Structure 1
Amino acid sequence: MKLSTKGRYGLMAMYNLKENMGKGPISLKDIAKDENLSESYLEQLFTLLRKAGLVNSIRGAGGGYELSRDPKEIAIGDIINALEGDLSLSCCDLGKNENCNKLNECATRDILNKLQGKIEIAMESMTLADM
């Protein structure tokens, strides 16, 4: 399993907001420059982060983005899920796919279900403040 650029760049950008917390809104241009990322790509990511309620956007001169809440309250899983959608280790969605013809005899379902649970616990136990 490999996290896409959405997830990696989103984490970098959110870290940047955390580091600049209390300094007012940060522009995407500044984040792009600090993190060596594409500003246009960040625009796409921040649309998703804003819709998920993780950042607030401030318009006008001196505008930009800021975290919507304390970094201790933003789980890494919240960020990843906002950008990547729900991560699933199995193509059959761990037995939730009732159309799967091997549902009752799947050799991988149990182990993938356990791994999925561990990943979800880890992503929810770590916050932006831990970065």
Structure 2
Amino acid sequence: MKISTKGRYALRMMLDLAQHQQEGFITLKSIAERQNVSKKYLEQIVPLLNNARMLKTNRGYQGGYILAKSPDQYTVGEILRITEGSLTPVACLDDTPNLCERSGECPTLNIWQGLNKVIMDYLDGITLQDVLDRNQSQAAAANEYYI
């Protein structure tokens, strides 16, 4: 499994919206500038997030995007599945039940199932709020001085 630019940028966009949620609707232009990513690329990601009801949009003068829910209700895994599709380490785990003709006698299936569980538990165990909190505590620790 390799996370694409689309998945990484979607996560950065959602984190940016979470970080600036008190400012109301945020334009793609301002997100693109803060995140140093192409606005055009973000325009390709927005429909995926919109279709999944992750964002609220407002058109016009005060237009832009905000999170549809609070940051603690979004997981990294959820965001990545929307943009990446499957996050499974092997294709045979994409279907439930497993449609692989060898699944009944495959000696490595348990390995892939275990890896998949670790990946999903990890990514689904991290919320946007967790990331914001961790970054805030790291920033606070960087500003401490010891003599």
Q: Contact 2:54–2:69 at 8 Å: present in 1 too?
A: yes
Matches within 5 A, 1:70-85: 70-85=70-85
1: distance between equivalents of 2:33 and 2:67?
Answer: 19
In the alignment, what sits opposite 2:24?
A: 24
Is 2:41 the partner of 1:41? yes
In the alignment, what sits opposite 1:116?
A: 116
> Residues 94 and 106 (structure 1 numbering): CA distance in 2 closer, same or farther, change over 3 Å?
farther
> Percentage identity across aligned positions?
38
1: distance between equivalents of 2:4 and 2:35?
Answer: 16
| Misfit runs of 4+, over 3 Å | 94-97
Gaps of 5+ in 1: none
Paired residue secondary structure (1:66): strand
TM-score computed with the length of structure 2 as normaliser: 0.82
Alpha-carbon RMSD across the aligned residues, in angstroms, is 1.5
Q: Contact 2:86–2:94 at 8 Å: present in 1 too?
A: no
2: distance between equivalents of 1:47 and 1:69?
Answer: 17
Mean CA deviation greater in 104-113 or 38-47 = 104-113
1: distance between equivalents of 2:107 and 2:98?
Answer: 15
2: distance between equivalents of 1:86 and 1:101?
Answer: 20
Larger radius of gyration: 2
Measured after TM superposition, the shift of residue 55 of structure 1 is 1.0
In the alignment, what sits opposite 1:101?
A: 101
Gaps of 5+ in 2: 132-147
2: distance between equivalents of 1:60 and 1:114?
Answer: 48
1: distance between equivalents of 2:86 and 2:102?
Answer: 23
